Amino acid sequence: MKTTLIFILCFVSVSVFAQSIPENYNEGMKNLEEKNYSSAILYFSKAIKEDEKFEMAYLNRGICYEFLMDHEKAITDFNMVLLLNSKNAPAYYNRGLIFKNTNQLNMAIEDFTNAFHLDSTNKFAIYNRALVKLQMGDFDTACVDLAIAADMGIKNAVEIIKYTCK
């Protein structure tokens, strides 16, 4: 599920900026698509060296670090994206995933909330926020989030509601 969303975000961003993307960024995206994450990082780093404010290069390099389980470097890149553009929903979402997976639950909720507020079509942000709230024992608000996620088409949310929510 995470992989699908990350790739969707990457390719949407590529198609939007296709006319002006530097060659190193294109090579990074090609390597990311082929799951050559270390190689992709090198190309994204070159693209960043060419333009220190290349938001999408930081985002996608962070995603590569995330796949390689280098949480510290991924968070650093997502933080840089948010420094450049505080309205970048994918950066909040991906950073939220790391916080969720490293049990930094309050920070995960904050990031999933920001991601969903910035992009109300991101059903995975609201679903993951619900899962974190369940983990924290906040069943009432988790069930509200699960209902939203279920309405948005996440089948697992429907199943969790059956067994968890009244």
Report how far residue 88's alpha carbon sits from residue 62's, in angstroms, rounded to the nearest whole number. 13
Question: At residue 27, what is the residue type?
Answer: E
Q: Which of 54, 113, 70, 119 is closest to 90 using CA atoms?
A: 119
What is the reported pLDDT for 21? 63
Residue 10 CB partners (closer than 8 Å, separation 6+):
29, 32, 33, 60, 63
Question: At residue 128, what is the residue type?
Answer: N
Report how far residue 86's alpha carbon sits from residue 93's, in angstroms, rounded to the nearest whole number. 12
As a whole number of angstroms, the longest Cα–Cα distance in the chain is: 55
20 pLDDT band, cuts 50/70/90, is low
CA distances from 45 to 61, 83, 91, 97, 105 (A): 7, 17, 17, 22, 30
**Residue 18 predicted with pLDDT over 80:** no
- CA-based Rg of the chain, rounded to a whole angstrom? 16
65, 74 contact by CB (below 8 A): yes
Per-residue pLDDT reduced to its tens digit, 23-53: 999 999 999 999 999 999 999 999 999 999 9
Report how far residue 54's alpha carbon sits from residue 60's, in angstroms, rounded to the nearest whole number. 10
45, 61 contact by CB (below 8 A): yes
Per-residue pLDDT reduced to its tens digit, 48-101: 999 999 999 999 999 999 999 999 999 999 999 999 999 999 999 999 999 999
SS3 at position 153: coil
Residue 76 CB partners (closer than 8 Å, separation 6+):
62
pLDDT-wise least confident of 91-95, 100-104, 162-166 = 162-166
**Residue 124 predicted with pLDDT over 70:** yes
Average confidence score pLDDT of the chain = 91
Q: Please, what are the domains in the chain?
A: 1-85 (1.25.40.10), 105-166 (1.25.40.10)
Give exposure, 7-23, as e/b (b: 16+ Cβ within 10 Å).
Answer: eebbeebbeeeeeebee
What is the reported pLDDT for 134? 97
